Structure 1
Amino acid sequence: MQRICVIGGSRYFGRLLVERLQATGHQVTVINRGSTQPPAGVEHLVVDRNDEASLIAALGSRIFEVVVDQVCYTPVQAAIAARAFAGRTRRYIMTSTIEVYDPATAALPAGTSVPEESVDPATWLVAMDLPWHDEAYLEAHYAEGKRQAEAVFTRADSFAFASVRSAHVLGGGAQEFTGRLAHYTERIARGDEIAVHAEALPTVFIHHEELADLLLWAATAPDFSGPVNACSDGLLDVHDLAAIIAAQTGREPVYRTVDAGGTASPFSFDRRYAMSNTRAKQLGFAFSRTADWLPGAVAEALTASAAPVA
């Protein structure tokens, strides 16, 4: 049994992680602002992680083997957490994102599936004086916020640090808070147009339960450090995704092609946008295939939206 702290963990795969940590016998503490209660038996600290003094006061004398940070988006938040948990944990894991590899915002080598070293947090420039507190700025610079947050933790010297860079997360029906899969299921079921690029390129996905499993594995099994990519096996583009939905709705997708650089539906990319999961496999995690779980995720989305099926 380990004493594990989860920052966030109130919904979707974060809540699944908390439930699975508890089910496997770990002593779990959840930190959030109190909008959602954790499962019974989980310690709950209600505090704003952005308030350093309040966070330190709430932590008191607690010490954890591992901290899993689900909701760190900026280098400022990372710096607060690094100071607050210095001497309180031996290992810190941050949930990061495929967005760190977005070639629209970072210079990356050419290739279909990028490895972790393509974005090295140890060498990434950190700028604390940017308006990270501004929600509009943060939304527009989400990828850079995650890169810089990783960089801050990587340079912390009081604990070992690892980041889990998640692919696009699907599954869970109504729980899926991005609404991206619902966008497709509802539009295809209604016969509405889907905006796509003329040469849509593939990307990678992961099921929300598989991501919870991987975070559980990362927190409790191997003592690796540095970034690790989290994506199921198999590249899919927007047409592959639409075809799986079409098979369940009985309606053929209706496409509208957008100009180069134009705004398309989510998961239609006109740039290379995929990760390699080789490192996680070498460390011992076995991934599923996207093609195996995606039909079930589509069925959940259709049920959740009560979309008419022909």
Structure 2
Amino acid sequence: MARVAVIGSTGHIGSYLVPRLAMDGHEVVAVSRGNAEPYLAHRAWDSVQRVHLDRDALEKDGDFGKAIAELKPDVVIDNICFTLDSARQLAEALMGRVQHFLHIGTIWTHGRSEVVPTPEDVTKRPFGEYGVQKAAIEAYLLDLGRREQFPVTILHPGHIVGRGWAPLNPAGHFDTSVFTTLARGERLTLPNFGMETVHHIHADDIAAMLIDAMRNWSSAVGESFHVVSPAAVTLRGYAEAMSRWFGKEPDIAFMPWEEWKHTQSERNANATWEHITRSPNCSIEKGRRLIGYAPRYTSLQAVEEAVRWLIENKRLDI
């Protein structure tokens, strides 16, 4: 068993990953800022070493990578790296000191979908600060692996779903009123013809794939993998499925984008634009073939669990 440092241990992925690692017998060092508790309570947290580090503050002084290295981990899992400078500082500090480094990327490194399902190894044309930075991180880490034998594996999640937060909804943003509309059987208007796609992933499936990568080290090192559900969903199909899940017949209307965006808040319209201009639809064949990736949740099953949590915790007005 390994000593595993998890950076971002109490967030979306870490809340599911840390208990899985501990239950597998690993010695887990849970690194976070200490500002939040995990989304899910689990007895496995009792056996976990918790370390509070302010990444932003330490990186300004060039000390974050050193702080992680001083924990003497065999494996480092970085859930919350968003810039090339941040990735470089950590990787340089860990060079020659870890057996495995796992980085969480994003399917937004692809930019707009060109071939679907999109494989990992197509030419990438990202846009927007987030996608561009994540693509630069991926290129840097994989190059470091090839040139310096840095033992890196990169996982690219889709839209992360789980108990404890609102999922990306059928309108392509995060306003829970969309689910309220569907639950009440009221009309939901979608942009265009609702044929753009979104691709969810349950946070626990990401946690499971990280462990699959650790177990299949020789096949995982030097590779990047999509970690998404078995199939993307169209906005229209997503809305209709959720209507029926609430026991209602779908009442879905459509409106051209230029008109639709003016019916939304600026924040919601911007979020929808970011998602539908990409319309991700990613392949998981490489992960299945090389490390046995087998997600438990479809996109809809993941969303249903998250929405059920919202209802149970009175976060959704239906």
Whether TM exceeds 0.5 here: the answer is yes
Q: Look up the equivalent residue of 1:118 and give its one-letter code.
A: V
Q: Is the CA contact (8 Å cut-off) linking 1:4 and 1:65 kept in structure 2?
A: yes
Residue aligning to 2:155: 164
Q: Which amino acid aligns with 1:47?
A: L
Shift of 1:144: 0.8
**Contact 1:200 1:269 survives alignment (8 Å):** no
Q: Name the count of aligned residue pairs.
A: 287
Match of 1:34 in 2: 34
Alpha-carbon separation, structure 1, partners of 2:317 and 2:66:
52
1: CA distance, partners of 2:253 / 2:311: 20
Q: C-alpha distance in 2, partners of 1:183/1:214?
A: 32
Alignment of 1:60-71 (within 5 A): 61-71=70-80
Aligned amino acid, residue 278 of structure 1 = E
Unaligned runs of 5+ in 1: 126-138
Asked whether the 8 Å contact 1:13–1:212 carries over to 2, the reply is: yes
Q: Over aligned residue pairs, what C-alpha RMSD do you find?
A: 3.1
5+ residue gaps, structure 2: 39-44, 262-268
Query: Letter of the aligned partner of 1:3 in structure 2?
Result: R
Q: Determine the C-alpha separation between the residues in 2 that align with 1:14 and 1:34.
A: 13
Residue matched to 1:287: 295
What TM-score does the superposition give when structure 2 sets the normalisation length? 0.78
| Range with greater deviation from structure 2 (223-232 or 45-54) | 45-54
From 183, 189, 192, the equivalent of 2:183 is: 189
1:215 aligns with 2:221: no
1:277 aligned to which of 268, 284, 302: 284
Residue 100 of structure 2 corresponds to residue 91 of structure 1: yes
Contact kept, 8 Å, 1:231 with 1:275, in 2: the verdict is yes
Residue 164 of structure 1 aligns to a residue whose secondary structure is strand
SS at match of 2:5: strand
Taking the aligned partners of 2:10 and 2:168, their CA distance within structure 1 comes to 15
Q: Separation in 2 of the partners of 1:147 and 1:25?
A: 33
**What is aligned with 2:230?**
233
Partners in 2 of 1:289 and 1:47 — Cα distance? 33
1:238, CA displacement in angstroms?
Answer: 0.7
**CA 1:228–1:260: 2 relative to 1, 3 Å:** farther
Question: Which secondary structure does the structure 1 equivalent of 2:231 belong to?
Answer: coil
Secondary structure of residue in 2 paired with 1:80 = helix
2:115 to 100, 111, 117: 111
Partner of 2:282, secondary structure, is: coil
Identity of aligned residues (%): 21
Give the CA deviation at 1:63.
2.7
The 1:177/1:199 distance shift into structure 2, 3 A limit, reads: closer
Q: Distance in 2 between matches of 1:26 and 1:112?
A: 37
The residue number in structure 1 matching 2:3 is: 3
Q: CA deviation at 1:178?
A: 6.3
Q: In the TM superposition, what whole-angstrom CA distance separates every residue of 1:24-53 from its partner, at most 9, and x where no partner exists?
A: 100111222221357333223322334244
Q: For structure 1, which segment, 265-274 or 203-212, has the greater mean C-alpha deviation from structure 2 after superposition?
A: 265-274
| 1:175 match | 165
Answer whether contact 1:197 1:270 (CA < 8 A) is retained: no
Matches within 5 A, 1:248-267: 248-251=245-248, 252-259=250-257, 263=261, 266=272
Q: Secondary structure of 2:293's partner?
A: coil
TM-score, normalized by length of structure 1? 0.79
What is the Cα deviation at residue 233 of structure 1?
Answer: 1.3
Q: CA deviation at 1:289?
A: 5.4
* Equivalence for 1:54: 63
* Residue in 2 that maps onto 1:202: 197
Contact 1:171 1:301 in 2 (8 A): no
Secondary structure in 2 matching 1:117:
coil
Q: d(CA) in 1 for partners of 2:13 and 2:70?
A: 28
Q: Which amino acid aligns with 1:117?
A: D
Change (3 A) 1:261 1:42: farther
Helix, strand or coil at the partner of 1:12 = coil
Q: Measure how far apart 1:254 and its partner are.
A: 4.1
